[in-house]
Structure 1
């Protein structure tokens, strides 16, 4: 039978000896912190999770962050074109603003639109991704109806090591970056920077100009931690990304963006049974439009967070915390209010009773703009056999109305209430050696949904689904597969929810030799409807990506990738264009790239 180990998330970061003690376990059963804000292995968690580590990121050679997410269990994606264009992510069929994005624990996203800027996250700066499916509002507050995705930037340990990469490919794409990480005595550090640019493709035919719509992104990250004492650590993280992305509207239109997060904190062992962490963080999501029209939609968030983990006996962990969130927007429109604050109090109890694990969480939020919300979750796990583990949970969640929905002149409605949900889930996981499999059934009921127009709590939805995941590592082969089926319905109309596919799947297959490796990724998505009335149907598609790498030496690796190898023509969304002269409208596809080739040279000091 599996033995459960309760550890607060910060312990693994604050006490290096614990990290070393868990290294062998983490290779087969990764440790993650997002589901409960405390450290668990994948097999121990009572949630449906996926972990993408740096080794997998390098193997997949993604050109965009969304390349890592497409086809994963429970995830649907739509894009207004490739390379830095607006991207919507539908976690378990919920709305695109129902998934919370965290970068090193810092809340990201726009308070005006409500969604996260997935398109601006640079894969080269990412060390690890944790995907948690299902509601997590009872721990994190608003936005986590569908789940949470947390991105971790790179950290340092051991002797100083330099790394660098340079790459080029189709669409006049270029990328480069460099970094150094390591540790000295009681200080650990990482500093890195990267830049990418591309001419892109013409995103929409017959709209705006006929030129390609380019994109460039310059990013920097820094991560520092210093042991003040044997059990107390001071830490800081910085992530900053900025650039420009072009799109079709008039003759020439583009956005300047800034996407950043910074954090400073202190954590440590107060006594044998009490671990505490205090952090101050700031994030920005800025999008300024230029060209035929100009606009400004900028969000700044300041967050103070306190978390205390109390070990009660051998098998109980009590977590108590509070956070204060201050949101401010700077917009080109005349909003009646441009700031609001939120105070959240949360608690969680985790216990191990024989073959059963129990987790209870509760949170109360008091928001200056719309009042109070209380959410909770109950989860139960049971060890069915040595290699089999079952889980079940029920949880409530809410999503706060955005500044646009509340205050946009001629559009907003200050009487609108938060969207609310209830989710039921049951799952089972098998894990033995280098093999694993996971299956989950769930249903989410969402009330008081806010449509694009009118801004009122008038919609209700029911989403049912099944998720399957499997993987193995054997005889120099690596295999990962996922399959998701959703039954999603607008209960007021009987129609399917727009822009999210019913069926998605993904297969990653790689073969290794001494210095050489080859691999392929197949992603498939079924049909979807582009509109609420289900009148504009978008067909399904399957994509094949091929890759190879050769280790020139212990420090140099040459990698190559062929995206969309079969040159498949596909779209994930369309826009409605109005012809005022004819008094009519028509749909125009957001184009996606055809076959494309990229090559990258990587250096990693040993």
Structure 2
């Protein structure tokens, strides 16, 4: 249970801080949480932003490591680079978080999972995470939150190389040019590692083919092109492409996969004093092929999406938005067969955004019409109060849904599953109360949330057929508190957040598996002229494993160190040490040893990375 006394003390402490210091300009962070630019405090939701500069200072090697530093986020890894990594946002599993690259969906439409480790860090300019129900803005899957990865717009040409443990190597080239109305930015990279043995082994068991290192390779390229037309607005074209291969452990079947993913988006936008509008059409593919045996399985999702959106300034205080969206999903290239392999969704949405003196308010409603599954109506509302120049209180309430997969409804010729033509979308209800304090001493935030998901889809065993049927039977709830702070003290920069979570299966009244009830992240950073360094700590409390193992996953604490040195005007050096203490831990179980010891997916252990970056 959540400690209400501790929460009251924390809120009182924030509200009692003196804000009578001399007026100072506070940096205003602008985000696109509502699909147009707004100051972060006007969004009336919990938003986290990680910029390119933050990524380079910490020398992160993959996207899951970046996300794992955010309050309310926990990453469950099935190994290292290239292996599966699931994100839990406020206790909700990965399929309830919508992941976008430049606003383009990148999930596998069958499972809802996203290959987070295959999104190259060298392609990322900025990561925005909006927590809470956002389906009224983004549609299906935006139940627990939305991650929008905005791709690289490097202003200088740079070449970098990084080497590290497990024969790791990474080479990146990025840059751009601006010539009158034309701008062009590019990024490309190559990453490879021999990896490590990702699963714990029973010393008493026979050696099988999974007793080996599990490597990874990623080749990627992307660009952003924009042209400004004086009277007609701006045309843009964005694209990212990556391909590669990775190995994992499976003693009896496929133990590797090849992947080929891409996104491409053509857009147009034009703004006047009272009206701005944008149109985009995008195509994408998320595909991996399971290899390692003669029988290969393909998981493929192809999408085409079109959207028009307008924003009208009715008065100085009130803006109105609206538009429509068309989405087509195609699973016909997948190995799994179903009687329906394609579906379309058509959506309409309208919204209002109000800001006047101390008060903020917004409301958005949306209707989605998915083929075969019927109509889903969602809304999002927010109310904010600016107590003064420093303190903002927010309250938001919204609904969300997740459409069933075509496999759930129409699977055919499966030895394990039967279709359920009457399967319904999963539904969610979300509430949040938050307080943000921004002063010359730093930024502080408290968020209290309550997220409930109904009509949860589970695979139910059917005794007559001996197979499983996807059925709307479950209900879960997730409540918690997040406290975050960024401030300067004693000559150091501090970033700290702590999360408390109560995630419950309402049907069985048990804790949901793999969710730690307490999480703590802390980063300490300092610059000395041309040299900067940061030390970060991550703590996760113990949590139950999945019911099959009926066991508990131990708590753990890891420390990471990063450093950078500007050797010359155009040459810098970088280093990172992960898991300094060589802590052995795992976040997902795999089985038991003969001794009864619980086995799991291994962590990488202590790893070292060193690199150099040259600008030209």
TM-score (norm. length: structure 1): 0.91
Measure, in 2, the Cα distance between the counterparts of 1:177 and 1:90: 30
Residue number in structure 2 paired with 1:602: 613
Distance 2:430 2:138 in 1: 16
CA distance in 1, matches of 2:161, 2:240: 21
Out of 379, 382, 385, the position equivalent to 2:385 is: 382
Contact kept, 8 Å, 1:139 with 1:347, in 2: the verdict is no
Native 8 Å contact 1:444 1:462 kept in 2:
yes
**Residue from 301, 308, 312 that aligns with 1:310:** 312
Does structure 1 conserve the Cα–Cα contact (< 8 Å) formed by 2:52 and 2:124?
yes
Inter-CA distance 534–73: structure 2 relative to 1 (3 Å threshold): farther
| Inter-partner Cα distance in structure 2 for 1:76 and 1:180 | 33
Q: How does 1:83-102 map to 2 (within 5 A)?
A: 83-102=81-100
User: Residues 154 and 174 of structure 2 are in contact (CA less than 8 Å); yes or no, is this contact kept in structure 1?
Assistant: no
Unaligned 5+ segments in structure 2 are 1-23, 202-207, 461-468
Could you list the per-position Cα deviations for residues 267-312 of structure 1 after superposition, in whole angstroms to 9, with x for gaps in the alignment?
Answer: 113x532211110001111010111341011000100010011110
1:405 aligns with 2:403: no
Q: Which residue of 2 aligns with 1:187?
A: 182
- 1:572 Cα deviation from its structure 2 partner: 0.5
- Asked if 1:443 corresponds to 2:443, the answer is no
**Structure 1 regions of 5+ residues with no counterpart?**
1-23
**2:337 matched residue in structure 1:** 334
Residue 532 of structure 1, CA deviation: 3.7
Structure 1: distance between partners of 2:431 and 2:79: 34
- The CA deviation string for residues 541-566 of structure 1, in whole angstroms up to 9 with x for no partner, is 01000121111012111011111000
Contact 1:198 1:216 in 2 (8 A): yes
Corresponding residue of 2:570: 555
- Partner in structure 2 of residue 163 of structure 1: 158
The alignment partner of 1:38 has SS state of coil
- Alignment-derived partner of residue 467 in structure 1: 482
SS of 2:122's equivalent in the other structure is helix
**C-alpha separation in 2, matches of 1:141 and 1:403:** 17
Distance in structure 1 (CA, Å) of the matches to 2:141 and 2:234: 30
Q: 1:98 to 1:455 in 2, by over 3 A?
A: same
Deviation at 1:452, TM superposition (A): 4.5
Q: Which residue of 1 aligns with 2:3?
A: none
Q: Name the CA shift for 1:294/1:593 in 2 (closer, same or farther; >3 Å).
A: same
Distance 2:491 2:613 in 1: 22
C-alpha change, 1:205 and 1:349, in structure 2 (3 Å) is same
The answer to whether the aligner puts 1:513 opposite 2:528 as a matched pair is yes
Match of 2:126 among 125, 128, 133: 128
Q: Which segment is superposed worse, 381-390 or 198-207?
A: 198-207
Q: 1:475 to 1:187 in 2, by over 3 A?
A: farther
User: CA separation in 2, counterparts of 1:31 and 1:71?
Assistant: 20
User: Which residue number in structure 2 is paired with residue 81 of structure 1?
Assistant: 79
1:196 maps to: 191
Two-structure CA RMSD over aligned residues (Å): 2.0
Deviates more, 1:54-63 or 1:523-532: 523-532
> What are the superposed Cα offsets for residues 202-222 of structure 1, whole Å, 9 maximum, x if unpaired?
112446331100001111110
> Paired residue for 1:370, among 368, 373, 380?
373
Q: Secondary structure, in 3 states, of the residue corresponding to 1:262?
A: strand
3-state SS of the aligned residue for 1:457?
Answer: strand
Does residue 523 in structure 1 map to residue 538 in structure 2? yes
User: What is the SS of the residue equivalent to 2:311?
Assistant: strand
Partner SS state of residue 597, structure 1: strand
Note if contact 1:73-1:469 (Cα within 8 Å) is conserved in structure 2: yes
Deviation, 1:534, is 7.8
Is the CA contact (8 Å cut-off) linking 1:422 and 1:446 kept in structure 2? yes
Mapping for residues 43-122 of structure 1, pairs under 5 Å: 43-122=41-120
**1:587, distance to aligned residue in structure 2 (A):** 6.0
Q: TM-score, normalized by length of structure 2?
A: 0.89
Choose the corresponding residue for 1:428, options 414, 430, 435. Answer: 435
Give 1:25-40 correspondences, 5 Å limit.
Answer: 28-34=27-33, 36-40=34-38
Give the C-alpha shift of residue 434 in structure 1: 5.0
Which range is displaced more, 357-366 or 42-51? Answer: 42-51
Distance between the aligned counterparts of 1:497 and 1:74, measured in 2? 15
Residues in 2 aligned to 1:201 and 1:254: alpha-carbon distance in whole angstroms: 14
Secondary structure, counterpart of 1:451 in structure 2: strand
